[in-house]
Chains A and B, each alone.
Chain A
Amino acid sequence: MTPPTSTTPQVGAGAAGTPGAPAAPGTAHALRVLPARHPWRWVATAVVAVLAAMAVNALVTNPAWDWPTVGQYLFSATILDSLWLTVRLTLVGTAIGLVLGTVLALMRMSANPLLKGVSFTYISVFRSVPLILQLLFWYNLAILYDRIGFGVPFGPQFWTIPTQDLIGPVTAAFLGLGLHQAAYFAEIVRSGFLAVDPGQREAAAALGIPRGRQFWRIQLPQALRIIVPTTGNEVIGLLKGTSVVYVMALPELFYQVQVVYNRTGQVIPLLLVAAVWYFALTTVLSVLQWAVERYYGRGSTREDQRLPLLVAVRSLRAARSRRAGVTR
């Protein structure tokens, strides 16, 4: 709310107009600009600070959290083994999801109605059925098809193998997570390509750039700028989603802490162990995501895009070489 110091004549200001003192012409440069006051910000700050202090206090002082036990199990061999399985589930699930998801997205964007339809059906089925159900289907695949064969489609088979030998519980988990994730990745990849300005493809076509090169060099890097942030969130979601695999009795992190606390009865500290590890892994993924986003964001703004770390290292090196030059 600024006081009516405007020097333009106020049409129809009438009775409401303050007949006060508009700044005399020529004195405007002497007027100081003061920032607006925000008393409520201070109130909000105080409230949040108190709440945060209470939360920290509750975490630290309550012995029921049992931090010593947390410390004892955090790096124990069983927990680290199960952590490794969680990491593998995340990595393989992401890999299957990304590759298959990209293929599905390309199918969905193709002009061929069959490819489009298959992709559309896959995406809607795998997005609609809850992950936990899908995992149980894969886990029980042997009930549905007890042998898997390789050969001519609808024709003779050259060799067959019992399903249980080919798809054990870990493979079933990889497949379940990967195939489910592919449906989501497909939509992310597709939205990334739709977001690229059609003028880019047109410019590339007008220059006679070959089709494959148009895809890899012109369209994909620009689509990735959209795809990467969402993919990062999906991978973090998948990391936490791997805990669902406990239904298959696979010793991943969440299953393993349950095994331990069922034996020792230390429920809360062991849940805390799992929470700390999920938090740590998510933090690592977030940092990775930030770096990759930065790389694909190059040229997207008018600002200097060099990594701050790189700039710091360079200027340090420059300073050192300057100093070396002086002493020499």
Chain B
Amino acid sequence: MARITVNVDGIRFEEEVEPRLLLVHLLRDRLGKTGTPIGCDTSNCGACTVLLDGKSAKSCAVLAVQADGCDIATVEGLAAGGRRHPVQTAFHEEHALQCGYCTPGMIMAAIDLLRTDPDPSDEAIREGLEGNLCRCTGYQNIVRAVRRAASIDGPVNGEQAAAREVPA
């Protein structure tokens, strides 16, 4: 067992974990952060995407011990003070989700995409989200949503989002 400290959505956790424990299982099964779902076991689908120190990471492909000392932002921490993150709002407005299972990962990946490319072309969005699979939407409205979020003023930067206070 290893002792780790992680900061998840602004809350500090100290946990004893098996070295093999996946970060996504730490989040879901130990910390109750079920907002981040699991869609595959080969890190292809991206449903479990979170921000690890501000950069997108597939939490099924990270061991919990590797996240020791890290800030982790999940979809659950985005709506600071009850106000939705612009990417969340854009997904809603553009009908960029149907069943919604890929949505948490898609939103987190989109936030990271906009951090590195604040004004992406459609093609850049499609390439940038290639690692996140959706079976419902055909992606068109996801592309629209990311473009819409890019045009909204305000913080879409993941590090800022992760650092915000999160109401209990």
Say if A and B assemble together. Answer: no
